[in-house]
Amino acid sequence: MSSKTALIVLGMHRSGTSSVAGALALAGASAPRRLMPPAADNPKGFWESSAVAAFNDRLLKAGGSDWRDWRRFADQPILDDPDARASAVRLLAEEFDSAAIVVLKDPRICRLFRFWRRALFDAGYETVVISPVRPPSEVAASLVSRNNMGRDHALRLWLRHVLEAERRSRGLPRRFLLWPEFLGDWREDLAAVSRLSSAPLDLGVEALQKIEDFLTSDLRRQTEASPTPALVHRAYGLLCQLARHGDHPDLHAEMDHARRMFDEACDLFSDAPR
């Protein structure tokens, strides 16, 4: 058994990943050393390594992609590159040193998780995945507001991230959590995450009060509920089932079917990033 545990917050941009990562850090998981500073759109902090985000941007760029790209990322070249993985292992050591339990979050990792899963293993971590699930209409509204992104583009981006994250994290201890519900009833989710890890979280009275003060209702600034395309709606429903009932082969098969449909459709979009 590994002596170190990495809690990977694996979720789409604007899906509550920052609040989940912050709560885990307040419960005793070590945050990265080079934290991205708070911003107007995230005043309580991103709880994300600026160095890891920059590294992931370089990986995506080398593969002809970037964070706005909703196409499938061709990750085989970086999987076959021992220097890239060694760089990731060094980066983990720089950010977390020898901490027993750490929290790693960057939405880009959804599309790069095969690579990071191997790098974390090489670095000696037991990996536990926490995937926040937020209604895609709210995610899209947040991206439209923050990044001036078209709604259709935002929904495709959401679909790519969640489909890749779900597929690539199978076989690991993981917890899907419904983020709007998490904000008001987070204790059960954090207790479940703690049980998944060989290094339990600190859920004592002092830590719980800090988390209570941190997870305020104003973190959810968009409550948009406009209808979404059928495939987006279906994928969201399946993720909700995973959150409520846990992993099941039937749910995996349906998620695989949704991913194949999306992959086949991607070439039809004339506005695909190039």
pLDDT digits (tens, 9 = 90+) for 74-83: 999 999 999 9
> At the topology level of CATH, where does 4-268 sit?
Rossmann fold (3.40.50)
Query: What's residue 267's pLDDT?
Result: 76
Query: What's residue 42's pLDDT?
Result: 81
pLDDT > 80? residue 270? no
SS (H, E, C) the chain: CCCEEEEEECCCCCCCHHHHHHHHHHCCCECCCCECCCECCECCCCCCEHHHHHHHHHHHHHCCCCCCCCCCCCCHHHHCCHHHHHHHHHHHHHHHCCCCEEEEECCCHHHHHHHHHHHHHHCCEEEEEEEEECCHHHHHHHHHHHHCCCHHHHHHHHHHHHHHHHHHCCCCCEEEEEHHHHHHCCHHHHHHHHHHCCCCCCCCHHHHHHHHHHCCHHHCCCCCCCCCCHHHHHHHHHHHHHHHHCCCHHHHHHHHHHHHHHHHHHHHCCCCCC
In tens, the pLDDT along 146-185 reads 888 999 999 999 999 999 999 999 999 999 999 999 998 9
In tens, the pLDDT along 2-58 reads 689 999 999 999 999 999 999 999 999 999 999 998 888 788 888 999 999 999 999
Confidence band (pLDDT; 50, 70, 90) for 272? low
pLDDT > 90? residue 116? yes
Average pLDDT of every residue of the chain: 93
Query: What's residue 1's pLDDT?
Result: 53
pLDDT > 80? residue 126? yes
Query: What's residue 271's pLDDT?
Result: 59
Query: What's residue 266's pLDDT?
Result: 87
Domain boundaries, the chain: 4-268
Query: What's residue 89's pLDDT?
Result: 98
Can you tell me the mean pLDDT for 206-229? 86
